[in-house]
Amino acid sequence: MSMGEDAYGCATPKGIMRLLEAYDIELSGKHAVVVGRSPILGKPMAMMLLGANATVTICHSRTQNLSEHIKQADIVVGAVGKPEFIKAEWIKDGAVVVDAGYHPGGIGDIELAPLIDRVAAYTPVPGGVGPMTINTLIYQSVDSGEKKILE
């Protein structure tokens, strides 16, 4: 790749960022906790949130006092790959909850049912982050093709 060429973000975290933008979720100055450190989801998600001026904490399944970190979060991104690993009681009222997990039975990484009436916004599982991943991949493919045609 030569200097100055556009690069595309990983489809899932970029899809989450597009979703947050579409719903006018303020990120600047907010504390985001990303639970997961994979190279294609957790790490790029954290960097994209940081790029949007959020203060970001990256946690994972072995983080000590994980519940205490999550309780501080204005935005929680579940990307740990374990069904309902993140408990509803750890999430403060009014937080924004993004569940990027999917497991058999249609459950995600976050215990979602008890949160629905007390958070500012949440992504359902299924039907939240997954469709945005696909949408973003298609969007980036079309955008790339159109740019190539214009060269």
Per-residue pLDDT at 132 exceeds 80: yes
Tens of pLDDT along 13-23? Answer: 999 999 999 99
Strand-by-strand arrangement of the 121-122 sheet: 55-59, 31-35, 75-78, 96-99, 121-122
The amino acid that residue 60 corresponds to is: H
The predicted model scores a pTM of: 0.93
* Strand ranges (E), the chain: 31-35, 55-59, 75-78, 96-99, 121-122
Residues 6+ apart with CB under 8 A from 5: none
Distance of alpha carbon 19 from alpha carbon 13, whole angstroms: 10
Residue 2: the pLDDT is 46
| Omega before residue 126 within 30° of 0, cis | yes
At residue 122, φ and ψ (nearest 5 deg) are -155, 155
Name the residue with higher pLDDT: 2 or 18.
18
CA distances, 13 to each of 45, 56, 96, 121, 136 (Å): 5, 14, 15, 17, 9
Domain 11-150 CATH class label? alpha beta
Judge whether residue 135 has pLDDT over 70: yes
Cβ contacts of residue 125 below 8 Å, gap of 6+?
Answer: 99, 101, 102, 106, 107, 108, 110, 112
What is the phi/psi pair of residue 68, to 5°?
-70, -40
pLDDT at 54 over 50: yes
Query: Residue 5 pLDDT more than 80?
Result: no
Quick one: pLDDT band at residue 150, thresholds 50, 70, 90? confident
Q: Has residue 105 got a pLDDT over 90?
A: yes
State pLDDT tens for residues 31-43. 999 999 999 999 9
What residues are paired with 31 via a beta bridge? 55
